[in-house]
């Protein structure tokens, strides 16, 4: 599931919704809810109202993926498709593991492209979201 901090900015909520829709997983508007240790969570973290990373929280611990947004994502609803990850083996395998997705050299209709310094979320040939790492 994807969520944000307890009092998120508009940008953080929008990013959380776009990532959840792209990955075909639920977005939870957390409010004062605590995070359960039995479930896996992607938490959008921010600094001064700007999203700066995703924290993956599991029973095994936390892992941070820090980034800068190249632009504000446009909120969209995507069809339920599971994306794959493509790119150079070393970088893309780490991102595939972070998002718990498969790695593919042959991208499908929806995929995450990993290149040095950036991560692109691509749906049917259109870049939906670009993260600078």
pLDDT of 58 reads 87
Q: Residue 95: what pLDDT? A: 94
Q: pTM of the entire structure? A: 0.89
Average pLDDT over residues 93-104: 92
Task: Please tell me the distance from the alpha carbon of residue 7 to that of residue 133, in angstroms, as a whole number.
Answer: 25
The domain spans of the chain are: 2-132
| 3.40.1280.30, 3.40.50.10480, 3.30.750.200, 2.40.30.20: CATH of 2-132 | 3.40.50.10480
**Pairing mode, strands 126-132 and 68-69:** antiparallel
On the question of pLDDT at 66 being above 70, the answer is: yes
Predicted confidence at residue 7, as pLDDT, reads: 84
104 pLDDT more than 90: no
Residue 8 has pLDDT above 80, yes or no: yes
Average pLDDT, the chain: 89
The mean pLDDT value for 99-107 works out to 87
- Condensed to tens digits (0 to 9), the pLDDT of residues 31-49 reads 666 666 667 899 999 999 8
């Amino acid at each position: 599931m994807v969520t944000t901090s307890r009092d998120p900015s508009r940008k953080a909520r929008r990013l959380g919704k776009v990532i959840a829709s792209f990955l075909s997983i639920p977005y939870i508007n957390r409010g004062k809810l605590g995070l359960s240790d039995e479930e896996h969570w992607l938490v959008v973290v921010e600094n001064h109202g700007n999203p700066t990373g995703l924290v993956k929280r599991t029973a095994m611990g936390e892992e941070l993926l820090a980034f800068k947004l190249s632009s504000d994502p446009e909120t969209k609803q995507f069809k339920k498709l599971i994306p794959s990850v493509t790119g150079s083996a070393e970088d893309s395998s780490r991102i595939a593991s972070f998002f718990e997705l498969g790695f593919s050299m042959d991208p499908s209709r929806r995929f995450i492209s990993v290149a040095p310094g950036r991560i692109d979320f691509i749906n049917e040939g259109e870049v939906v979201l670009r993260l600078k790492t």
